[in-house]
Amino acid sequence: MIETTLILLKPDCVSKSLAGETIKRFEAANLQIVGCKMQQLSSEKLREHYAHIADKPFYPEVEGFMQSAPVIAMALRGENAIAAVRELVGPTDSSIAPAGSIRGDLGEDKMRNIVHASDSSEAAQAELKRFFNAGEVLV
């Protein structure tokens, strides 16, 4: 099934000039870029995106990190794109992610893990609407 999903190249990816390497891996897996834009995230957008952890004591550190540099929001389309992206990025914690995965090769820890990836079809739909306006993702 052809799906469209969201990824965010996080501030560590952008500030370490790893965006090209990361995008190359998605393209090599036959995932097509159908939307892409660089954004400096607001506190409001971050609180909405991370609503599930916004009340946790570590949230201010997450927000500070996510505002430390711009992110690159990308819409990727392909066969079973959500699962394909999740496989490419590896587990959230870069310190245990396997070699060959994006997080295992390029990330540092649970927060500085290079990329956010939608974890379900429902999340992808909501996150694409959060980061892209109507008409910004190719149909």
Catalytic positions: 116
Collect all residues with Cβ–Cβ distance below 8 Å to 63 and sequence separation of at least 6: 43, 46, 47, 50
User: At residue 127, what are phi and psi to the nearest 5 degrees?
Assistant: -70, -35
CA angle 28, 66, 108 (to 5 degrees): 60
CA distance 45 to 109: 23
Collect all residues with Cβ–Cβ distance below 8 Å to 135 and sequence separation of at least 6: none
CA distance 76 to 79: 10
